[in-house]
Structures are given as C-alpha cells and as structure tokens.
Structure 1
C-alpha cells in the first residue's frame, strides 16, 4: 500500500471537512456579501473542485504537475475572489476569506507529493494571494493580524507535513531494502548449507586424496583446495551492497566489501577496516576492473601465482592496486596487445577507470611480476 496512500486519504478527508466548514460560513454570510452571486459561484467551484481532486489524487498516476498546478491555481483563484465578493469594510475588519481552511488543501498536496520544499513553495503562493486580497480591496498590501496568522499557519503546515512525508518515504525505502537484504541473506545461508553438505566436502576430499597420491593428482588436489577456499569465502560473505540497485543507483556501496569477495587461496585482499563508501555504479565498475586484472593473472601466469589486492582510501582519491608474483611482461607488451586487437587491459581495466575520470598505471618487468594501480579522484566519483 505504501506510506503515501494513507496521507492522500487523510488529505481527501481534510478537503471535505474544510469544504463543509467554508460552505457553512458562506451560507451564513451570503446576505452580507457585495455580490451574492459571486459567493454562490465560489462555493460551487469549491464543491466541484473538491469532488474532482478527491477522485484525481486517488490514482498515483494522476498525482503529477498538471493536477498539482491546477489545484493550487483554483485555490488561489477562489481565495482572490474574496476581494470582489466581500465588502471592503468587512475585509478591513478581518472577516474570514471565502475559502477559510479549504485553501490549505493544495499546500498539503504539494507537501505530500514533494516534501517540505515543495510544500513551502505552495504555501508562499497561497500566502501571497491572501495578502493580495487586501490590495485588491483597496487597503494596500497591509494584511490584518488574522491574515498574517493564517499565512504563517499555512506555511508551517506545508513545511511540517512535507518533512513528515519525506521521513516516511525514506523509512519505507529503508524497510524495503532491509527486507530484501534479509531475504537474500536467508537464501545465501540456505545455499551455503547445501553447498557445505556436498560441494565443499567433495573438494576437501579431492584435496586430501590428491596430496596423498602425489604427482598430477597432487596438482588437482591443490586446485581443489584453492576452489574450496574461494567458495567458502563467497558463501560466507554478505550480499554485495548496492547489488539490487545496479546499474545507475544513487546510493553508496562499500567498495571494500565488494573487493573482499575476490579473496581466496591465491588472492589476498587488504582493505580498510571501516566501510569505503563509493557511488554504487562507480563501485561496480572498479570491482569489474579488479576482476579483469585477476582474470589476467589466472589466464597468463603459471599455476600457483599469487595476487594481492590493496584498497587505499583518502579524502582526495580511491586507489586500488592489483599485484602478482608472476613472470611479468616485457616493455611494450600492453601496446602490442592493443595493436593486435586484444583489448582486455585497454577496455576492461583502463576503459572502465577512464570513464570514471581516473587513471591506470601498469608497472611490470620480466621476472618481477606485474602491478596495476587504479586511481579515481573522490571528486570524480561523486560526479559519476
């Protein structure tokens, strides 16, 4: 149902109640008006518009600018009509406007739909119309104390209701994310139990028997041990932050938690103890670049090659280094690969980081391994 639905229903009740009160005052004072026909006309417009808005706002698809703007315009028009319907001396004496509290309904609608800023803007428009009534009636722009009090109350209503609506919508979104995370965690735990009872036990057995047999079986046992360690790390980690918002999410993700998922028997990940918040889209791109670098290590380096991932976070930039103890690369190897159409480093690593506004430095020499350092300025991460 959502948090907003009860607010819109309460607003519909407010409109009807405010209409009944304003209508009773018009019926009681119509004989005192300068234009009785004008009073009846304003009342008819208020009744018709109340019926239409109660119907219109009931559908979320119609709660958009056309209806919101028309709502505010009709309320302001009925309010301004007081200057022609009422007698100037009665306005000067501080009699209520024709609309009374009914005029606050569009302010509350704007507040519920867009928060305290939009509610305050609508309240400012209604306040200006209230003050203009006195100018049109011939008293200049000097409102009475009652008019001033009404303007302040409408402004406070728009601000407070808008603030409450913002808090409620944010709380609802957090609750939805918490429910999704709980469901994902339960599913992960269920899969972890099944994997532990089957796959992990088989891998552990292969590792132990391979070591006992020696030769090629020992190599198979070593690979099984690495996969067992990697699988244990995977099923033991929490769901990736921002995973359900990908792509283009506005929320932050913990880059350290993403990179920790790559840890295994041959990969060591070092990250700050605390969270490293990065916009989710940028975090996924950096994580994908690291995954591409580790994939290069697995494909192009001998078995047993180790890799180290280091995440550094400071106020100016986020830096991720991927280093291995493999055979290294001769000078110009990356350029040759790009010229030959092999774009793994060029696109999967450099391209991703370049799109984020960062830089990539590659240091390698035969027999000395390879280090890829990816740096993205914090200012560019925020823009991403």
Structure 2
C-alpha cells in the first residue's frame, strides 16, 4: 500500500470516529432541539455519506473535483442544518453544531488531494458556513467555541496539506533512490562482464591494428574510440536524483550530463558538473541533438584527426554548452555564404533548436584557430523546487 492510499484510509477512519462522536452528542442533546427529528435526519445523512465516501475516495480515478465538491456540499449542508434543528439559545450558550468535528473530514480530503492551498480553501468555506449558522438561527453572534472551531479548521487545512505534500515528495524521492540503486548495481554487474570480454577485445584490436598499419590502423583507431566511449559509459558516476515534475505539463526532468557524456571518445572530451543538470526532457534532447550536430560538423569539416571539447556549465538561471575544436576554423562570412547557398546545417540543426528553447548561440572562429560554438539556454532552474 502506497503512502497516498494510506492517507485516504486514515481520512476514512477519521470520518467514522468523528461520526461516532457526533452521534453521541445528537443522542444526548436531541431532547433540547427545536426539531428533534431533524437531528436524526442529519445523522442519517452523515452516516450514509460516510459509508459512500469511504468507498468512493478509495478509488484514485474518482478523487476529482466532482467528488470533492459533493463532499463539501454534503458537509456544509449538514452544518447549516444546525440552524433549523438547534435553538438560538442553545447556540448562544455554546452548544456545538450537529456534525461537530465531522466537518473536518472534508477539509482533510481536500488537503490530501491538493495540498495546503486546497485545505485552506475548504476551511474557508466551512468557516463561512459555521458563521452562517449563527446568523440563520438568530443567536447572539459567534461564541468563543465557534471561533476556536474556525481557527482549528484553518490549522487543520494548513498543517495537513503541508505535511501531505512533504510526505508525497519524500516518497517520490525514495522511489527514485531505490530505482537509482538498482540501476547502479546492474551497471556494475554489466561493467564487470564487459571489462572481461568486450573491452579486452577492443583494446587488442586497437593494439594489433596499430602494429599492422594501413587499413588495419584505421580499424584499430575506431576500436580505440569505441573502447574509450564504452569505458566512459560504464564507469561514469550515476546521475543524481532528479526532482519530480513541478506541475501539470512540466514534463519529466532529464539529466543533461549522461546525454552528453555518451559522445566522449579518444577525439572528443566531454566535461560536465558533478551534480545533475536537470531540464525538461524535451529541452535536454534538443540540446543533445544540437551538440551532436556540432560534433558532426567537426568531423566533416575538420577531419578525423581533429579533437573536440564539450563543456557543460550550470549557471544561475541558465545552462551553457560549448563545443570547441582545433580544426582549421572558418573564414569570416562562411556561415552566411552557406545559408545563402541553401546549406542550413548550422542554422537549422543548432541555432534553430536553441532559438526554439528561448536560448542564444554564439559562434567564434578564425582561420587556423578552430571553432567554438556556445549554446546558452535561459531559465534552466525554473523547474527545480
């Protein structure tokens, strides 16, 4: 049973316990009511709704606005019925309303469903209904007992809503930590097997290819690159635990670090922060694609012998990724000429992607000095708690 299911079960238990207390008071005070049968009718409604709510809230797909609104309507109706059943004199003397503490069950339901904001909103509705009882009954204003009850309603909505939110976040982080631990153990198991087989074969191919020369040397170089990339993949530190989505439509966060480190090889050096760089998954994939396009340009225009460096920086409110190479560089106006000729690789694959994310691209190059492409995406911390 998950934490959320346990919370709803606790609310159901509270409903029954509070119903029992209300029933005792109604039985005790029914002789002094203006309409005794009205008190029994309200108790019957409370009992029926408690039984229905226990089963209705147990099903996750039913815990939406219709059920929450119905819960609030029934609770407020039973509360306001006190003005018709009870006498104004009894209310002025401090007698409780018919539902007594049963009304707090609706506040707990709203708080568990939507946090402290929902809890406070529900408390406000029932506090207004509580005060309306005294107005309709013609009593001499709200008594200290009524004021204390209203304050307790607001405290219940605030505290329970806040605690529920913290508990659900803690459960999500624990689940992510367990998932991460399982992934780490699996990675270690695979790393041991790969180290004993694949890595040794790749190292042997690289060594023998270098000794034979010719086409075998090229094969050895490719094997060396794959060995380095595989070592970086299985030897990299696990990603830090990412926070849950902050709200509807925010998307699952993704760590940009492992998306970029997969491009590490003997000719490409990738440097990333030690902690996770969390971005919405769609944005992280677009940045990865832009980096892949930049590295592809290095291979095509600078040759296989060129080296490239990828640097990821997580600043205050922005993420910056730079791709630098030691190739021949570009003369001034080269990109503009390529765009005019219809070759839009850099414009569409790099600048277009980053522009769609609300970022900027800076390209610095000169003949004989290589090329550096700096991509900056603002608002990188917007999805963090």
Normalising by structure 2, what TM-score?
0.89
Q: Which residue of 1 aligns with 2:128?
A: 128
Structure 1 unaligned regions, length at least 5: none
Range moving further from structure 2, 166-175 or 357-366? 357-366
Q: Which residue of 1 aligns with 2:234?
A: 235
Q: Give the Cα–Cα distance (whole angstroms) in 2 for the partners of residues 45 and 313 of structure 1.
A: 58
CA RMSD of aligned residues (A): 2.8
Superposition map of 1:236-315 within 5 A: 236-239=235-238, 254-256=255-257, 258-272=259-273, 276-315=277-316
Range moving further from structure 2, 328-337 or 42-51? 328-337
Report if aligned partners of 1:307, 1:323 keep a CA contact under 8 Å in 2. yes
Q: Give the Cα–Cα distance (whole angstroms) in 1 for the partners of residues 122 and 244 of structure 2.
A: 33
Q: Which residue of 1 aligns with 2:184?
A: 185
Q: Which residue of 1 aligns with 2:320?
A: 319
Range moving further from structure 2, 282-291 or 352-361? 282-291
Report if aligned partners of 2:253, 2:281 keep a CA contact under 8 Å in 1. yes
SS at match of 1:382: coil
Q: CA deviation at 1:60?
A: 0.9
Q: CA deviation at 1:257?
A: 5.2
Q: Which residue of 2 aligns with 1:360?
A: 361
Are residue 163 (structure 1) and residue 162 (structure 2) matched? yes
Report if aligned partners of 1:242, 1:280 keep a CA contact under 8 Å in 2. no
SS at match of 2:139: coil
Q: Which residue of 2 aligns with 1:349?
A: 350
SS at match of 1:131: helix
- Per-residue CA deviation, residues 224-283 of structure 1 (Å, 9 max, x unaligned), is 22221122112212455689989x755655545543443321112344566555455433
Report if aligned partners of 1:249, 1:281 keep a CA contact under 8 Å in 2. no
Report if aligned partners of 2:57, 2:63 keep a CA contact under 8 Å in 1. yes
Q: Which residue of 2 aligns with 1:26?
A: 26
Range moving further from structure 2, 294-303 or 249-258? 249-258
Q: CA deviation at 1:50?
A: 1.2
Residues 183 and 249 (structure 1), Cα distance of their counterparts in 2 relative to 1, 3 Å cut: farther
Q: Which residue of 2 aligns with 1:152?
A: 151
Range moving further from structure 2, 362-371 or 155-164? 362-371
Residues 73 and 244 (structure 1), Cα distance of their counterparts in 2 relative to 1, 3 Å cut: closer
SS at match of 2:115: helix
Q: Give the Cα–Cα distance (whole angstroms) in 2 for the partners of residues 365 and 245 of structure 1.
A: 44
Q: Give the Cα–Cα distance (whole angstroms) in 1 for the partners of residues 374 and 118 of structure 2.
A: 46
Residues 244 and 297 (structure 1), Cα distance of their counterparts in 2 relative to 1, 3 Å cut: farther
- Per-residue CA deviation, residues 50-78 of structure 1 (Å, 9 max, x unaligned), is 12111211111111111111111111111
Superposition map of 1:28-177 within 5 A: 28-139=28-139, 142-177=141-176
Q: Which residue of 1 aligns with 2:197?
A: 198
Q: Give the length in aligned residue pairs.
A: 381
SS at match of 1:94: coil
